[in-house]
Structure 1
Amino acid sequence: MNPITAFGVGCFHLAVRLKPPYRFRPSSYAEIIESLLGKLDTVGRFSVSPSTMASSDELKLGDGALSMLHEGVWLPGYIDAVEFSLRIPRRVQDDIVRAIHGKNYSWTGLGTEHFMVRTRYFYDAPVTIVECLDLDDDECEDPSDAVVVVREFLKQKLKESEADIDLEVVGPSPFHADFFVFDETEEVRPHVEHTETGGYDRVIAYVPPHIRENHADWVLEWMGPKLSFYYHLKRINIWQARQWGDVNRAWHSLNEPAGSETWAGRAKALMKKRRAIASLVDGVLMFQAGMLSRRQRAYSAKENNRSERGLEFLDEKIDRTFEDTFRTYPTAQVLELAKFYETRDSKRRDRVHVLVAALMGGAIGAILSQLLGGT
Structure 2
Amino acid sequence: MSDRFFGVGCMVPGVEDAENPGDWTEKVKKAFEAVPSVQKFKAIEINDLDFCWTGNGFTESEDREIHIPESGIITFEVKIPARLQIVPLLGGEGAEVFRVTILFDYVHPVTYVECLDASEEVEHPSMTLVTVREFLREELAKRDSPVGLLVLGPSPFHADFSLRVGSGPQTAGEDFTVDIEKSLGYDRITYYHESPEALWRLYRTLREQFSYFYQFVTMRNARLGAASRLSKQSREIAESFKRRGLKAYLSRTMTMRHKLQSAQLDAVSARLTIIRHKRDSADDLEGLYPGEEAAHLRRYLEKTIEEDYIEEIESSEKILEVLDSRHSQELQRFATIAFSLLGVVVGAALTAAFRSWWG
The yes-or-no answer on 1:145 pairing with 2:122 is no
Equivalent positions of 1:271-282 (< 5 A) are 271-282=254-265
**Counterpart for residue 34 of structure 1:** 29
The yes-or-no answer on 1:261 pairing with 2:261 is no
CA contact (8 A) 1:147 1:174 kept: yes
Q: What TM-score do the two structures reach when normalised by structure 1?
A: 0.79
Q: For this pair of structures, how many residues does the alignment match?
A: 346
**In 2, Cα distance between the equivalents of 1:283 and 1:164?**
37
Equivalent positions of 1:155-166 (< 5 A) are 155-166=137-148
**Counterpart for residue 180 of structure 2:** 194
Q: Report the residue type matching 1:40 in the other structure.
A: V
3-state secondary structure, aligned to 1:254: helix
Please list the CA deviations of residues 243-302 of structure 1 after superposition, one character each: whole Å capped at 9, or x if unmatched: 11110111111212454622x541222233222211220111110111111111111101
**In 2, Cα distance between the equivalents of 1:110 and 1:231?**
34
3-state secondary structure, aligned to 1:70: coil
3-state secondary structure, aligned to 1:313: coil
> Unmatched 5+ residue regions in structure 1?
56-60, 99-105
Give the direction of change, closer, same or farther, for the CA distance of 1:12–1:315 in structure 2 (3 Å limit): same
Counterpart of 1:204 (choices 166, 190, 197) is: 190
CA contact (8 A) 1:121 1:127 kept: yes
> Unmatched 5+ residue regions in structure 2?
168-173
**In 2, Cα distance between the equivalents of 1:282 and 1:8?**
42
Counterpart of 1:97 (choices 87, 93, 97) is: 87
**Counterpart for residue 80 of structure 1:** 72
Q: What TM-score do the two structures reach when normalised by structure 2?
A: 0.83
Percent identity between matched residues is 23
Q: Report the residue type matching 2:301 in the other structure.
A: I
CA contact (8 A) 1:110 1:142 kept: no
**In 1, Cα distance between the equivalents of 2:346 and 2:19?**
64
Shift of 1:197: 4.2
Q: Report the residue type matching 2:10 in the other structure.
A: C
Equivalent positions of 1:262-341 (< 5 A) are 262=246, 265-307=248-290, 311-323=294-306, 325-326=307-308, 328-341=310-323
3-state secondary structure, aligned to 1:320: helix
Equivalent positions of 1:127-138 (< 5 A) are 127-135=110-118, 137=119
**In 2, Cα distance between the equivalents of 1:275 and 1:50?**
52
Give the direction of change, closer, same or farther, for the CA distance of 1:309–1:14 in structure 2 (3 Å limit): farther
Query: What root-mean-square deviation, in Å, do the aligned CA atoms of Structure 1 and Structure 2 show?
Result: 3.3
CA contact (8 A) 1:29 1:50 kept: no
CA contact (8 A) 1:193 1:204 kept: yes
